[in-house]
Structure 1
Amino acid sequence: MTGDSNQDYNNNENSYLLKKITTINENFSFETLKCCDKPVVFLLDLKSDYLSQDLGNLLEKGSLSDCKIQNIPVHKILIETRLGKDFAQVSNYLEENCTLKEIEHLLKWIYSDRIIKNSKRTKEILSYFGIENPSKTKLLKNDLKKLLFDEESSDFKLVIKNDEEDEEEEEEEDEKLPVHKFLLAARSGLFLDLFQNLDQNLNNVQDYSGKSLETLELLISFLYTDEIPITADTDQEFIKEEFEDIVDYYQLNPNIPLLDIFEKCSKK
Protein backbone atom coordinates (compact mmCIF):
# COMPACT_ATOMS: atom_id res chain seq x y z
CA MET A 1 0.00 0.00 0.00
CA THR A 2 1.52 3.33 -1.03
CA GLY A 3 0.57 6.79 0.08
CA ASP A 4 -0.61 9.54 -2.28
CA SER A 5 -2.09 12.53 -0.50
CA ASN A 6 -1.81 15.25 -3.11
CA GLN A 7 -4.54 14.44 -5.61
CA ASP A 8 -7.74 16.44 -5.23
CA TYR A 9 -11.13 14.98 -6.01
CA ASN A 10 -14.21 17.11 -6.42
CA ASN A 11 -17.44 15.38 -5.38
CA ASN A 12 -20.28 17.01 -7.41
CA GLU A 13 -21.67 20.50 -7.19
CA ASN A 14 -21.78 20.36 -3.37
CA SER A 15 -18.01 20.83 -3.68
CA TYR A 16 -16.90 18.25 -1.15
CA LEU A 17 -13.14 18.43 -1.53
CA LEU A 18 -11.63 14.98 -1.21
CA LYS A 19 -8.01 13.91 -1.23
CA LYS A 20 -6.86 10.47 -2.26
CA ILE A 21 -5.02 9.18 0.77
CA THR A 22 -3.96 5.76 -0.46
CA THR A 23 -3.32 3.88 -3.67
CA ILE A 24 -4.23 0.30 -2.91
CA ASN A 25 -2.47 -2.62 -4.60
CA GLU A 26 -3.85 -3.80 -7.91
CA ASN A 27 -5.78 -6.72 -6.41
CA PHE A 28 -8.22 -4.22 -4.93
CA SER A 29 -11.03 -3.03 -7.18
CA PHE A 30 -11.51 0.41 -5.66
CA GLU A 31 -9.69 3.49 -4.47
CA THR A 32 -10.25 5.12 -1.09
CA LEU A 33 -10.71 8.88 -1.04
CA LYS A 34 -10.70 10.77 2.25
CA CYS A 35 -12.67 13.93 2.91
CA CYS A 36 -11.29 17.19 4.26
CA ASP A 37 -13.55 18.50 7.05
CA LYS A 38 -16.72 17.31 5.34
CA PRO A 39 -19.34 14.63 6.11
CA VAL A 40 -17.91 12.02 3.71
CA VAL A 41 -15.27 9.96 5.49
CA PHE A 42 -14.22 8.05 2.40
CA LEU A 43 -15.47 7.12 -1.01
CA LEU A 44 -15.32 3.72 -2.64
CA ASP A 45 -14.53 4.47 -6.27
CA LEU A 46 -14.53 1.54 -8.72
CA LYS A 47 -11.55 1.41 -11.05
CA SER A 48 -13.39 -0.54 -13.75
CA ASP A 49 -15.87 1.66 -15.59
CA TYR A 50 -19.11 -0.29 -15.26
CA LEU A 51 -21.12 2.91 -15.56
CA SER A 52 -20.01 3.58 -19.13
CA GLN A 53 -20.50 -0.09 -20.03
CA ASP A 54 -24.10 -0.08 -18.84
CA LEU A 55 -24.97 3.25 -20.47
CA GLY A 56 -23.27 2.15 -23.69
CA ASN A 57 -25.54 -0.90 -23.74
CA LEU A 58 -28.54 1.37 -23.16
CA LEU A 59 -27.63 3.39 -26.25
CA GLU A 60 -27.39 0.23 -28.35
CA LYS A 61 -30.78 -1.06 -27.19
CA GLY A 62 -32.55 2.30 -27.19
CA SER A 63 -34.52 1.33 -24.06
CA LEU A 64 -36.75 4.01 -22.51
CA SER A 65 -35.64 6.62 -25.04
CA ASP A 66 -37.80 9.75 -25.13
CA CYS A 67 -36.59 11.40 -28.37
CA LYS A 68 -34.50 10.80 -31.49
CA ILE A 69 -31.61 12.30 -33.41
CA GLN A 70 -31.49 11.16 -37.03
CA ASN A 71 -33.85 8.31 -36.04
CA ILE A 72 -31.44 7.15 -33.32
CA PRO A 73 -33.31 6.67 -30.00
CA VAL A 74 -31.68 8.83 -27.30
CA HIS A 75 -32.40 10.21 -23.82
CA LYS A 76 -33.01 13.94 -23.69
CA ILE A 77 -31.79 14.72 -20.16
CA LEU A 78 -28.51 12.87 -20.74
CA ILE A 79 -27.84 14.74 -23.99
CA GLU A 80 -28.55 18.10 -22.33
CA THR A 81 -26.49 17.30 -19.23
CA ARG A 82 -23.46 16.12 -21.16
CA LEU A 83 -23.40 18.87 -23.80
CA GLY A 84 -24.76 21.69 -21.66
CA LYS A 85 -27.27 22.80 -24.30
CA ASP A 86 -31.00 22.56 -24.88
CA PHE A 87 -31.91 19.36 -26.71
CA ALA A 88 -33.55 21.18 -29.62
CA GLN A 89 -30.38 23.20 -30.16
CA VAL A 90 -28.23 20.07 -30.08
CA SER A 91 -30.50 18.13 -32.40
CA ASN A 92 -30.77 20.94 -34.94
CA TYR A 93 -27.01 21.49 -35.06
CA LEU A 94 -26.20 17.80 -35.47
CA GLU A 95 -28.80 17.15 -38.14
CA GLU A 96 -27.73 20.21 -40.15
CA ASN A 97 -23.96 19.83 -39.84
CA CYS A 98 -23.09 16.19 -39.18
CA THR A 99 -23.30 12.89 -41.00
CA LEU A 100 -25.03 9.91 -39.43
CA LYS A 101 -21.68 8.29 -38.67
CA GLU A 102 -20.42 11.46 -36.96
CA ILE A 103 -23.56 11.58 -34.83
CA GLU A 104 -23.09 7.92 -33.88
CA HIS A 105 -19.50 8.63 -32.81
CA LEU A 106 -20.62 11.61 -30.75
CA LEU A 107 -23.35 9.59 -29.04
CA LYS A 108 -20.78 6.94 -28.15
CA TRP A 109 -18.85 9.59 -26.22
CA ILE A 110 -22.02 10.98 -24.60
CA TYR A 111 -23.07 7.57 -23.31
CA SER A 112 -19.71 6.01 -22.50
CA ASP A 113 -16.93 8.66 -22.50
CA ARG A 114 -15.30 6.75 -25.36
CA ILE A 115 -13.73 8.60 -28.27
CA ILE A 116 -13.42 6.66 -31.52
CA LYS A 117 -9.70 6.31 -32.30
CA ASN A 118 -8.34 9.23 -34.33
CA SER A 119 -11.79 10.84 -34.42
CA LYS A 120 -10.77 14.44 -35.06
CA ARG A 121 -14.29 15.27 -36.20
CA THR A 122 -15.87 14.14 -32.90
CA LYS A 123 -13.51 16.43 -31.01
CA GLU A 124 -14.41 19.31 -33.32
CA ILE A 125 -18.12 18.78 -32.62
CA LEU A 126 -17.52 18.59 -28.87
CA SER A 127 -15.44 21.75 -29.07
CA TYR A 128 -18.45 23.50 -30.60
CA PHE A 129 -20.36 22.60 -27.43
CA GLY A 130 -17.54 23.91 -25.22
CA ILE A 131 -15.92 20.57 -24.37
CA GLU A 132 -12.22 20.96 -25.10
CA ASN A 133 -10.80 17.88 -23.40
CA PRO A 134 -13.19 14.98 -24.10
CA SER A 135 -10.52 12.34 -23.45
CA LYS A 136 -10.29 13.34 -19.79
CA THR A 137 -11.34 10.45 -17.59
CA LYS A 138 -14.54 10.34 -15.52
CA LEU A 139 -16.32 13.16 -17.33
CA LEU A 140 -19.42 10.96 -17.62
CA LYS A 141 -19.41 10.20 -13.92
CA ASN A 142 -18.99 13.85 -12.97
CA ASP A 143 -21.82 14.89 -15.29
CA LEU A 144 -24.19 12.28 -13.86
CA LYS A 145 -23.48 13.52 -10.34
CA LYS A 146 -25.33 16.68 -11.34
CA LEU A 147 -28.47 14.56 -11.78
CA LEU A 148 -28.17 12.64 -8.50
CA PHE A 149 -31.31 13.28 -6.38
CA ASP A 150 -32.07 16.31 -8.56
CA GLU A 151 -35.81 16.76 -8.23
CA GLU A 152 -36.11 19.34 -11.01
CA SER A 153 -34.74 17.11 -13.76
CA SER A 154 -36.01 13.76 -12.42
CA ASP A 155 -38.92 11.99 -14.09
CA PHE A 156 -39.81 9.50 -11.35
CA LYS A 157 -39.79 8.98 -7.58
CA LEU A 158 -39.10 5.90 -5.49
CA VAL A 159 -41.30 5.89 -2.40
CA ILE A 160 -39.50 4.45 0.64
CA LYS A 161 -41.97 3.22 3.23
CA ASN A 162 -41.28 4.50 6.74
CA ASP A 163 -41.86 1.49 9.00
CA GLU A 164 -40.68 3.10 12.23
CA GLU A 165 -43.54 3.33 14.70
CA ASP A 166 -43.49 5.64 17.68
CA GLU A 167 -46.82 6.28 19.37
CA GLU A 168 -45.53 9.46 21.00
CA GLU A 169 -44.56 11.04 17.69
CA GLU A 170 -46.64 11.92 14.69
CA GLU A 171 -46.44 9.45 11.84
CA GLU A 172 -43.65 10.47 9.50
CA GLU A 173 -44.28 10.80 5.79
CA ASP A 174 -42.74 8.26 3.46
CA GLU A 175 -39.45 9.35 1.89
CA LYS A 176 -39.37 9.97 -1.85
CA LEU A 177 -36.16 9.68 -3.82
CA PRO A 178 -36.15 11.56 -7.17
CA VAL A 179 -34.56 9.45 -9.92
CA HIS A 180 -34.18 9.23 -13.70
CA LYS A 181 -35.77 6.17 -15.23
CA PHE A 182 -33.32 5.74 -18.10
CA LEU A 183 -30.33 5.66 -15.76
CA LEU A 184 -31.78 3.19 -13.27
CA ALA A 185 -32.93 1.00 -16.16
CA ALA A 186 -29.43 1.03 -17.66
CA ARG A 187 -27.90 -0.23 -14.43
CA SER A 188 -30.51 -2.57 -12.96
CA GLY A 189 -32.42 -5.40 -14.59
CA LEU A 190 -35.24 -5.00 -12.07
CA PHE A 191 -35.71 -1.30 -12.87
CA LEU A 192 -35.52 -2.02 -16.60
CA ASP A 193 -38.36 -4.55 -16.31
CA LEU A 194 -40.30 -2.24 -14.01
CA PHE A 195 -40.15 0.83 -16.23
CA GLN A 196 -40.79 -1.08 -19.45
CA ASN A 197 -43.97 -2.60 -18.04
CA LEU A 198 -45.15 0.27 -15.86
CA ASP A 199 -48.12 2.47 -16.68
CA GLN A 200 -46.43 5.52 -18.20
CA ASN A 201 -48.84 7.81 -16.34
CA LEU A 202 -47.39 6.76 -12.98
CA ASN A 203 -44.71 9.05 -11.59
CA ASN A 204 -43.78 7.06 -8.49
CA VAL A 205 -43.69 3.54 -7.13
CA GLN A 206 -43.08 2.05 -3.71
CA ASP A 207 -39.79 0.22 -3.26
CA TYR A 208 -40.52 -3.30 -1.98
CA SER A 209 -37.00 -4.41 -1.18
CA GLY A 210 -37.50 -3.68 2.53
CA LYS A 211 -34.11 -1.99 2.78
CA SER A 212 -33.34 1.09 4.83
CA LEU A 213 -33.47 4.59 3.36
CA GLU A 214 -29.73 4.94 3.97
CA THR A 215 -28.98 1.78 2.00
CA LEU A 216 -31.21 2.78 -0.90
CA GLU A 217 -29.64 6.24 -1.03
CA LEU A 218 -26.22 4.57 -1.25
CA LEU A 219 -27.53 2.24 -3.95
CA ILE A 220 -28.89 5.13 -6.04
CA SER A 221 -25.62 7.03 -5.54
CA PHE A 222 -23.75 3.97 -6.77
CA LEU A 223 -25.99 3.51 -9.81
CA TYR A 224 -25.33 7.13 -10.86
CA THR A 225 -21.60 7.27 -10.13
CA ASP A 226 -20.00 3.85 -9.50
CA GLU A 227 -19.09 5.30 -6.10
CA ILE A 228 -20.28 4.52 -2.58
CA PRO A 229 -19.89 7.46 -0.17
CA ILE A 230 -19.32 6.34 3.43
CA THR A 231 -20.02 8.89 6.16
CA ALA A 232 -19.10 8.91 9.83
CA ASP A 233 -22.66 7.77 10.60
CA THR A 234 -22.66 4.83 8.19
CA ASP A 235 -22.99 1.43 9.83
CA GLN A 236 -20.70 -0.36 7.41
CA GLU A 237 -21.51 -3.89 8.56
CA PHE A 238 -25.26 -3.23 8.35
CA ILE A 239 -24.93 -1.71 4.89
CA LYS A 240 -22.79 -4.62 3.72
CA GLU A 241 -25.43 -7.12 4.87
CA GLU A 242 -28.17 -5.21 3.06
CA PHE A 243 -26.12 -5.00 -0.13
CA GLU A 244 -25.78 -8.79 -0.20
CA ASP A 245 -29.49 -9.02 -1.02
CA ILE A 246 -29.59 -5.83 -3.10
CA VAL A 247 -27.13 -7.17 -5.71
CA ASP A 248 -29.54 -10.01 -6.54
CA TYR A 249 -32.81 -8.17 -5.89
CA TYR A 250 -32.03 -5.30 -8.23
CA GLN A 251 -30.28 -7.58 -10.78
CA LEU A 252 -27.12 -5.49 -10.88
CA ASN A 253 -24.27 -6.19 -13.29
CA PRO A 254 -22.89 -9.49 -11.89
CA ASN A 255 -19.33 -8.43 -12.69
CA ILE A 256 -19.41 -5.54 -10.19
CA PRO A 257 -17.53 -6.71 -7.06
CA LEU A 258 -19.67 -4.80 -4.55
CA LEU A 259 -19.43 -7.35 -1.76
CA ASP A 260 -15.68 -7.70 -2.23
CA ILE A 261 -15.42 -3.94 -1.92
CA PHE A 262 -17.23 -3.87 1.41
CA GLU A 263 -15.18 -6.83 2.68
CA LYS A 264 -11.88 -5.18 1.84
CA CYS A 265 -13.06 -1.82 3.08
CA SER A 266 -14.00 -3.20 6.50
CA LYS A 267 -10.45 -4.53 6.90
CA LYS A 268 -8.83 -1.12 6.34
Structure 2
Amino acid sequence: MFAILTQDNEIWVQGTFDGVKSNNSSVIRKIQTGNNLINELSSYNQIKCCDDNLMFLFQSNSYISQDLENLLKNGYFSDCKIQDIPVHKILIETRIGKTFDLIKKYLESNCKLNEIQDLLKWIYCDEMINFKRTNEILNHFGIQNAQKTKLLTNDLKQLLFDEQTSDFKLVVKNEEKDEEEEELYIHKFILAARSGLFLNMFQNLEENLQKVKDYSGKSLETIELLISFLYTDELPITADTDQEFIKEEFEDIVEYYQLNPTIPMMDIFEKSSKK
Protein backbone atom coordinates (compact mmCIF):
# COMPACT_ATOMS: atom_id res chain seq x y z
CA MET A 1 0.00 0.00 0.00
CA PHE A 2 1.49 3.33 -0.98
CA ALA A 3 0.65 7.02 -0.76
CA ILE A 4 1.44 9.82 -3.17
CA LEU A 5 2.01 13.36 -1.95
CA THR A 6 1.49 16.04 -4.61
CA GLN A 7 3.03 19.48 -4.80
CA ASP A 8 -0.26 20.89 -3.49
CA ASN A 9 -0.04 18.71 -0.36
CA GLU A 10 -2.81 16.45 -1.57
CA ILE A 11 -2.49 12.79 -0.56
CA TRP A 12 -3.60 10.04 -2.93
CA VAL A 13 -3.57 6.45 -1.70
CA GLN A 14 -3.78 3.01 -3.28
CA GLY A 15 -5.94 0.12 -2.19
CA THR A 16 -7.57 1.58 0.94
CA PHE A 17 -9.89 4.49 1.51
CA ASP A 18 -11.21 5.51 4.93
CA GLY A 19 -10.34 2.07 6.30
CA VAL A 20 -12.16 0.18 3.51
CA LYS A 21 -10.05 -1.93 1.17
CA SER A 22 -10.60 -1.48 -2.51
CA ASN A 23 -11.21 -4.59 -4.63
CA ASN A 24 -8.99 -3.07 -7.25
CA SER A 25 -5.49 -2.43 -5.91
CA SER A 26 -4.77 -0.12 -8.83
CA VAL A 27 -7.46 2.34 -7.73
CA ILE A 28 -5.95 5.56 -6.40
CA ARG A 29 -8.14 7.88 -4.34
CA LYS A 30 -7.60 11.26 -2.76
CA ILE A 31 -7.89 11.57 1.02
CA GLN A 32 -8.37 14.61 3.21
CA THR A 33 -5.14 16.14 4.50
CA GLY A 34 -4.48 18.06 7.69
CA ASN A 35 -1.53 19.97 9.06
CA ASN A 36 0.57 17.00 10.21
CA LEU A 37 1.43 15.13 7.03
CA ILE A 38 3.92 12.80 8.71
CA ASN A 39 1.28 11.40 11.05
CA GLU A 40 -1.24 10.99 8.26
CA LEU A 41 1.28 9.12 6.09
CA SER A 42 2.74 6.96 8.88
CA SER A 43 0.56 3.95 8.05
CA TYR A 44 1.85 3.69 4.47
CA ASN A 45 4.91 1.58 3.83
CA GLN A 46 5.80 3.37 0.60
CA ILE A 47 5.53 7.09 -0.09
CA LYS A 48 5.99 8.72 -3.45
CA CYS A 49 6.46 12.47 -3.46
CA CYS A 50 5.94 14.62 -6.56
CA ASP A 51 7.96 17.51 -5.11
CA ASP A 52 11.71 16.88 -4.72
CA ASN A 53 11.90 19.65 -2.11
CA LEU A 54 9.48 17.78 0.14
CA MET A 55 11.07 14.34 -0.21
CA PHE A 56 13.40 15.02 2.71
CA LEU A 57 10.41 15.39 5.05
CA PHE A 58 9.60 11.71 4.68
CA GLN A 59 13.17 10.42 4.53
CA SER A 60 14.51 12.25 7.58
CA ASN A 61 14.77 9.03 9.60
CA SER A 62 16.04 6.83 6.78
CA TYR A 63 19.71 7.83 7.01
CA ILE A 64 20.15 6.17 10.39
CA SER A 65 18.22 3.17 9.07
CA GLN A 66 20.50 2.84 6.05
CA ASP A 67 23.64 3.09 8.14
CA LEU A 68 22.44 0.63 10.79
CA GLU A 69 21.32 -1.79 8.08
CA ASN A 70 24.87 -1.80 6.73
CA LEU A 71 26.12 -2.33 10.28
CA LEU A 72 23.84 -5.35 10.68
CA LYS A 73 25.05 -6.83 7.38
CA ASN A 74 28.72 -6.35 8.24
CA GLY A 75 28.46 -7.22 11.93
CA TYR A 76 30.90 -4.51 13.01
CA PHE A 77 31.42 -4.42 16.80
CA SER A 78 28.67 -6.93 17.49
CA ASP A 79 28.84 -8.38 20.99
CA CYS A 80 26.42 -11.32 20.77
CA LYS A 81 24.49 -13.52 18.33
CA ILE A 82 20.95 -14.69 17.63
CA GLN A 83 20.82 -17.80 15.43
CA ASP A 84 24.46 -17.13 14.45
CA ILE A 85 23.55 -13.61 13.31
CA PRO A 86 25.96 -11.04 14.85
CA VAL A 87 23.90 -8.39 16.65
CA HIS A 88 24.29 -5.55 19.15
CA LYS A 89 22.90 -6.34 22.58
CA ILE A 90 22.16 -2.82 23.81
CA LEU A 91 20.28 -1.85 20.65
CA ILE A 92 18.07 -4.93 20.83
CA GLU A 93 17.37 -4.44 24.55
CA THR A 94 16.58 -0.75 24.01
CA ARG A 95 14.18 -1.39 21.15
CA ILE A 96 12.39 -4.39 22.67
CA GLY A 97 12.52 -3.28 26.29
CA LYS A 98 13.50 -6.72 27.65
CA THR A 99 16.78 -8.38 28.61
CA PHE A 100 18.78 -9.81 25.74
CA ASP A 101 18.82 -13.33 27.16
CA LEU A 102 15.02 -13.38 27.38
CA ILE A 103 14.67 -12.05 23.82
CA LYS A 104 17.21 -14.49 22.41
CA LYS A 105 15.61 -17.47 24.16
CA TYR A 106 12.13 -16.67 22.88
CA LEU A 107 13.24 -15.98 19.31
CA GLU A 108 15.38 -19.07 18.96
CA SER A 109 12.67 -21.28 20.50
CA ASN A 110 9.62 -19.90 18.71
CA CYS A 111 10.69 -18.19 15.49
CA LYS A 112 12.05 -19.31 12.15
CA LEU A 113 15.29 -17.80 10.86
CA ASN A 114 13.50 -15.58 8.33
CA GLU A 115 11.16 -14.31 11.08
CA ILE A 116 14.16 -13.38 13.22
CA GLN A 117 15.73 -11.64 10.25
CA ASP A 118 12.50 -9.70 9.67
CA LEU A 119 12.43 -8.63 13.33
CA LEU A 120 16.05 -7.49 13.13
CA LYS A 121 15.11 -5.47 10.06
CA TRP A 122 12.62 -3.59 12.24
CA ILE A 123 15.06 -3.24 15.14
CA TYR A 124 17.85 -1.79 12.99
CA CYS A 125 15.90 -0.09 10.21
CA ASP A 126 12.34 0.60 11.44
CA GLU A 127 11.08 -1.43 8.48
CA MET A 128 8.59 -4.29 8.53
CA ILE A 129 8.71 -6.92 5.81
CA ASN A 130 6.21 -9.35 7.31
CA PHE A 131 3.83 -6.98 9.11
CA LYS A 132 1.64 -9.62 10.69
CA ARG A 133 4.33 -11.93 12.04
CA THR A 134 6.67 -9.15 13.19
CA ASN A 135 3.81 -7.48 15.05
CA GLU A 136 2.91 -10.81 16.66
CA ILE A 137 6.45 -11.13 17.98
CA LEU A 138 6.50 -7.54 19.20
CA ASN A 139 3.10 -8.02 20.86
CA HIS A 140 4.58 -10.93 22.80
CA PHE A 141 7.09 -8.50 24.28
CA GLY A 142 4.37 -5.99 25.12
CA ILE A 143 4.88 -3.64 22.14
CA GLN A 144 1.58 -2.68 20.55
CA ASN A 145 1.18 -0.77 17.28
CA ALA A 146 4.94 -0.57 16.83
CA GLN A 147 4.79 1.50 13.64
CA LYS A 148 3.29 4.44 15.51
CA THR A 149 4.51 3.97 19.08
CA LYS A 150 8.12 2.87 18.53
CA LEU A 151 10.52 4.89 16.41
CA LEU A 152 14.18 4.05 15.96
CA THR A 153 15.34 7.62 16.55
CA ASN A 154 13.32 7.93 19.77
CA ASP A 155 14.89 4.74 21.09
CA LEU A 156 18.39 5.85 20.12
CA LYS A 157 17.86 9.10 22.04
CA GLN A 158 17.74 6.97 25.20
CA LEU A 159 21.32 5.92 24.50
CA LEU A 160 22.69 9.41 23.81
CA PHE A 161 25.57 10.16 26.24
CA ASP A 162 24.28 7.39 28.50
CA GLU A 163 27.05 6.30 30.86
CA GLN A 164 25.35 3.10 31.96
CA THR A 165 25.05 1.55 28.51
CA SER A 166 28.05 3.09 26.72
CA ASP A 167 31.09 1.00 25.85
CA PHE A 168 33.54 3.78 25.00
CA LYS A 169 34.57 7.33 25.93
CA LEU A 170 35.49 10.12 23.54
CA VAL A 171 37.77 12.66 25.23
CA VAL A 172 37.27 16.25 24.04
CA LYS A 173 38.95 19.47 25.19
CA ASN A 174 36.66 21.97 26.88
CA GLU A 175 38.10 25.34 25.89
CA GLU A 176 35.68 27.20 28.14
CA LYS A 177 37.22 25.55 31.21
CA ASP A 178 40.90 26.26 30.65
CA GLU A 179 41.55 23.29 28.42
CA GLU A 180 39.95 20.77 30.78
CA GLU A 181 38.97 17.51 29.13
CA GLU A 182 35.43 16.17 29.00
CA GLU A 183 34.63 12.49 28.54
CA LEU A 184 31.62 11.83 26.31
CA TYR A 185 29.96 8.44 26.74
CA ILE A 186 29.30 6.83 23.36
CA HIS A 187 28.45 3.52 21.72
CA LYS A 188 31.06 2.37 19.23
CA PHE A 189 28.62 0.59 16.96
CA ILE A 190 26.50 3.74 16.41
CA LEU A 191 29.43 6.04 15.64
CA ALA A 192 31.06 3.39 13.45
CA ALA A 193 27.83 2.86 11.52
CA ARG A 194 27.44 6.54 10.77
CA SER A 195 30.99 7.86 10.33
CA GLY A 196 33.75 6.45 8.15
CA LEU A 197 36.35 8.17 10.34
CA PHE A 198 35.07 6.56 13.54
CA LEU A 199 34.75 3.17 11.82
CA ASN A 200 38.38 3.25 10.69
CA MET A 201 39.52 4.50 14.09
CA PHE A 202 37.71 1.83 16.11
CA GLN A 203 38.85 -0.93 13.76
CA ASN A 204 42.49 0.02 14.34
CA LEU A 205 42.37 0.48 18.10
CA GLU A 206 43.42 -2.17 20.58
CA GLU A 207 40.41 -4.19 21.71
CA ASN A 208 40.89 -3.38 25.39
CA LEU A 209 41.14 0.37 24.82
CA GLN A 210 38.21 2.17 26.46
CA LYS A 211 38.71 5.77 25.39
CA VAL A 212 40.45 7.96 22.84
CA LYS A 213 40.98 11.68 22.32
CA ASP A 214 39.27 13.63 19.55
CA TYR A 215 41.89 15.43 17.44
CA SER A 216 39.57 17.28 15.08
CA GLY A 217 40.22 20.62 16.79
CA LYS A 218 36.47 21.16 17.04
CA SER A 219 34.93 22.58 20.19
CA LEU A 220 33.15 20.49 22.80
CA GLU A 221 29.85 22.06 21.70
CA THR A 222 30.44 21.02 18.10
CA ILE A 223 31.39 17.45 19.00
CA GLU A 224 28.30 17.13 21.21
CA LEU A 225 26.14 18.36 18.33
CA LEU A 226 27.82 15.91 15.97
CA ILE A 227 27.18 12.95 18.26
CA SER A 228 23.59 14.06 18.85
CA PHE A 229 23.12 14.11 15.09
CA LEU A 230 24.68 10.66 14.65
CA TYR A 231 22.18 9.20 17.13
CA THR A 232 19.08 11.06 15.97
CA ASP A 233 19.52 12.62 12.49
CA GLU A 234 18.59 15.90 14.19
CA LEU A 235 20.48 18.90 15.52
CA PRO A 236 19.39 20.11 18.99
CA ILE A 237 18.86 23.73 18.00
CA THR A 238 17.24 26.22 20.37
CA ALA A 239 16.45 29.92 20.23
CA ASP A 240 19.79 30.64 21.94
CA THR A 241 21.85 28.59 19.51
CA ASP A 242 24.27 30.38 17.21
CA GLN A 243 22.80 28.92 14.05
CA GLU A 244 25.33 30.44 11.66
CA PHE A 245 28.14 28.91 13.74
CA ILE A 246 26.52 25.49 13.55
CA LYS A 247 25.95 25.81 9.82
CA GLU A 248 29.59 26.64 9.14
CA GLU A 249 30.88 23.94 11.50
CA PHE A 250 28.75 21.17 10.03
CA GLU A 251 29.62 21.98 6.44
CA ASP A 252 33.19 21.13 7.43
CA ILE A 253 32.43 18.29 9.84
CA VAL A 254 30.50 16.22 7.27
CA GLU A 255 33.67 15.85 5.23
CA TYR A 256 36.08 15.46 8.17
CA TYR A 257 34.14 12.66 9.86
CA GLN A 258 33.26 11.02 6.52
CA LEU A 259 29.53 11.04 7.11
CA ASN A 260 27.14 9.53 4.60
CA PRO A 261 27.55 11.81 1.55
CA THR A 262 23.86 11.46 0.63
CA ILE A 263 22.75 13.21 3.83
CA PRO A 264 21.36 16.67 2.93
CA MET A 265 22.95 18.32 5.96
CA MET A 266 21.60 21.78 5.29
CA ASP A 267 18.09 20.42 4.83
CA ILE A 268 18.41 18.75 8.21
CA PHE A 269 19.68 22.02 9.66
CA GLU A 270 16.72 23.91 8.26
CA LYS A 271 14.29 21.30 9.57
CA SER A 272 15.89 21.33 13.03
CA SER A 273 16.05 25.11 13.24
CA LYS A 274 12.29 25.43 12.75
CA LYS A 275 11.46 23.36 15.81
User: TM-score band, normalised by the shorter chain?
Assistant: 0.7 to 0.9
Identity among equivalent positions (%) equals 69
For 1:265 and 1:110, the matched residues in 2 are separated by 25
1:73 alignment partner in structure 2: 86
TM-superposition CA deviations, 1:152-171 (whole Å, max 9, x none) = 11111111113457xxxxx4
The alignment's TM-score, normalised by the length of structure 2, stands at 0.76
**Equivalent runs, 1:17-28 vs 2, <5 Å:** 27=53
1:183 alignment partner in structure 2: 190
Do the aligned partners of 2:61 and 2:153 also contact (CA within 8 Å) in 1?
no
Give the CA deviation at 1:231.
1.8
For 1:91 and 1:157, the matched residues in 2 are separated by 28
Give the CA deviation at 1:248.
0.7
- Code of the residue aligned with 2:252 in structure 1: it is D
For 2:213 and 2:145, the matched residues in 1 are separated by 41
For 2:107 and 2:271, the matched residues in 1 are separated by 46
Do the aligned partners of 2:234 and 2:268 also contact (CA within 8 Å) in 1?
no
Alignment of 1:90 with 2:116, yes or no, is no
1:40 alignment partner in structure 2: none
- Code of the residue aligned with 2:104 in structure 1: it is S
CA RMSD of aligned residues (A): 2.9
3-state SS of 1:205 partner: strand
**Do the aligned partners of residues 88 and 265 (structure 1) sit closer, same or farther apart at CA in structure 2, a change above 3 Å counting?**
closer
1:64 alignment partner in structure 2: 77
Do the aligned partners of 1:157 and 1:205 also contact (CA within 8 Å) in 2?
yes
1:123 alignment partner in structure 2: 135
For 2:125 and 2:268, the matched residues in 1 are separated by 23
**Do the aligned partners of residues 100 and 265 (structure 1) sit closer, same or farther apart at CA in structure 2, a change above 3 Å counting?**
closer
2:45 alignment partner in structure 1: none
TM-superposition CA deviations, 1:180-222 (whole Å, max 9, x none) = 1001111111111111111121111111111111111111111
**Do the aligned partners of residues 263 and 153 (structure 1) sit closer, same or farther apart at CA in structure 2, a change above 3 Å counting?**
closer
The higher relative CO (CA closer than 8 Å, separation ≥ 6) is in 1
Higher percent of residues as helix: 2
- In structure 1, list runs of 5 or more residues that go unmatched: 9-24, 32-44, 166-170
1:235 alignment partner in structure 2: 242
**Do the aligned partners of residues 116 and 262 (structure 1) sit closer, same or farther apart at CA in structure 2, a change above 3 Å counting?**
closer
Alignment of 1:114 with 2:127, yes or no, is yes
3-state SS of 1:47 partner: coil
Do the aligned partners of 2:235 and 2:272 also contact (CA within 8 Å) in 1?
no
3-state SS of 1:254 partner: coil
| Pair member with larger Rg | 2
3-state SS of 2:235 partner: strand
TM-superposition CA deviations, 1:6-31 (whole Å, max 9, x none) = x99xxxxxxxxxxxxxxxx8615666
For 1:265 and 1:221, the matched residues in 2 are separated by 12
- In structure 2, list runs of 5 or more residues that go unmatched: 1-7, 10-33, 40-50
**Do the aligned partners of residues 97 and 266 (structure 1) sit closer, same or farther apart at CA in structure 2, a change above 3 Å counting?**
closer
How many corresponding residue pairs? 233
For 2:74 and 2:230, the matched residues in 1 are separated by 19
Alignment of 1:200 with 2:203, yes or no, is no
Give the CA deviation at 1:46.
6.4
Alignment of 1:151 with 2:163, yes or no, is yes
Do the aligned partners of 1:46 and 1:226 also contact (CA within 8 Å) in 2?
no
- Which deviates more from structure 2 when the two are superposed, residues 253-262 or residues 152-161? 253-262
